[in-house]
């Protein structure tokens, strides 16, 4: 089976949130740095019963944007994922987030990146038959 999840390619990866994984369909939010020192924020949709619906939406900062963000926040580049995760504490109180709440958290992370002046691309990896999650 081919994975639809981009976080598997990150050299540094932090899980920010995941929805209730006791049900067969859940979302995970990852923040990571890939081999090219690009910051990747992904929301990964997994359907354990029907894997053709597995897909991913992600925001990808260029290397220059990632380095600029790290300097602006006074954080080492490889520490950015954990720094971002630690600053999403508004979401910590949710014990079993819903799919909608994970999408809102992803949206908030990307909005905070915009507030920091970051430019990024939003990309999708669709499931089978071009299934789009969001």
Q: How many CA atoms lie within 13 A of 98 on its CB side?
A: 3
Helix, strand, or coil (residue 56) = strand
Quote the domain boundaries for residue 103: 6-130
What does the block give as tokens for 98?
Answer: 């819903």
Residue 118 inside a domain? The answer is yes
Residue 1 inside a domain? The answer is no
pLDDT digits (tens, 9 = 90+) for 81-113: 999 999 987 887 888 888 899 999 999 999 999
How deeply is 22 buried, as exposed, middle or buried, from its count of CB atoms within 10 A (0-12, 13-18, 19+)? exposed
Angle at 126 between CA 112 and CA 96, to 5 degrees: 55
Residue 33 inside a domain? The answer is yes
pLDDT digits (tens, 9 = 90+) for 17-49: 888 767 788 899 999 999 999 999 999 988 888
In residues, how long is the chain? 134
For the chain, how many structural domains are there in total? 1
pLDDT band at 1 (very low <50, low <70, confident <90, very high): very low
Question: What is the structure's pLDDT at 50?
Answer: 86
């Amino acid at each position: 089976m081919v994975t639809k999840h981009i976080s598997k390619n990150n050299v540094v990866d932090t899980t920010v949130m995941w929805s209730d994984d006791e049900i067969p369909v859940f979302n995970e939010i990852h923040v990571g740095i890939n081999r090219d020192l690009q910051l990747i924020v992904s929301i990964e949709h997994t359907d354990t019963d029907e894997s053709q619906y597995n897909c991913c939406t992600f925001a990808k900062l260029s290397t220059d944007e990632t380095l600029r963000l790290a300097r602006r926040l006074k954080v080492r580049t490889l520490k950015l994922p954990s720094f971002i995760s630690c600053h999403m504490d508004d979401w910590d109180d949710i014990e079993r987030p819903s799919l909608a709440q994970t999408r809102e958290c992803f949206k908030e992370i990307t909005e905070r990146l915009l507030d920091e002046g970051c430019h990024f691309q939003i990309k999708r990896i669709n499931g089978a038959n071009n299934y789009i999650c969001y």
